[in-house]
Structure 1
Amino acid sequence: MNNDRIQGSWEQVKGNVQKAWGKLTNDDLDVIEGDRKLLAGKLQERYGIAQDEAEKQIKDWNSRD
């Protein structure tokens, strides 16, 4: 799933994102609104991981679709 598809179908994807990263709140998801950089930032914040690890996790998650 590319970045455009994430933003275009965010309402449908939100549930899958929350399943993958359960520490993200509904408020986090509302702020992210499908923006990959914001998602990476929230993952860093909630999970205490580095930017490159957050990007890797997003990439791995995207490749599952």
Structure 2
Amino acid sequence: MDWNRIEGNWKQVKGKVKEQWGKLTDDDLDQIQGRREQLEGKIQERYGIEKDRVKNDIDSWYNNQKW
């Protein structure tokens, strides 16, 4: 599954994202709407971690999903 499919299936994927990053609110997830850059920014904001680490964390999460 590529990221475009995540955007298209965002309603189904939101739960998996919230399981991984529980500090993200439902409002955050609604604003993100599956856009990776928005997800990265919100994770940085909520968790206070640097951009490169967020990118690696998302890649790792993405690759571990059972689509």
Judge same fold: TM > 0.5, yes or no.
yes
Identity among equivalent pairs (%): 52
Structure 1's unaligned 5+ residue stretches are: none
The count of aligned residue pairs is 65
TM-score by length of 2: 0.93
CA contact (8 A) 1:7 1:34 kept: yes
Moved over 2 A (4+): none
Q: 1:6, 1:55 → 2: CA distance?
A: 16
Q: 1:32, 1:53 → 2: CA distance?
A: 19
The CA RMSD over aligned residues, in Å, is: 0.7
Q: Which has the higher contact order (CA 8 A, sep 6+)?
A: 1
AA aligned opposite 2:56:
K
Query: How far did 1:51 drift?
Result: 0.6
Structure 2's unaligned 5+ residue stretches are: none
Q: Which residue of 2 aligns with 1:4?
A: 4
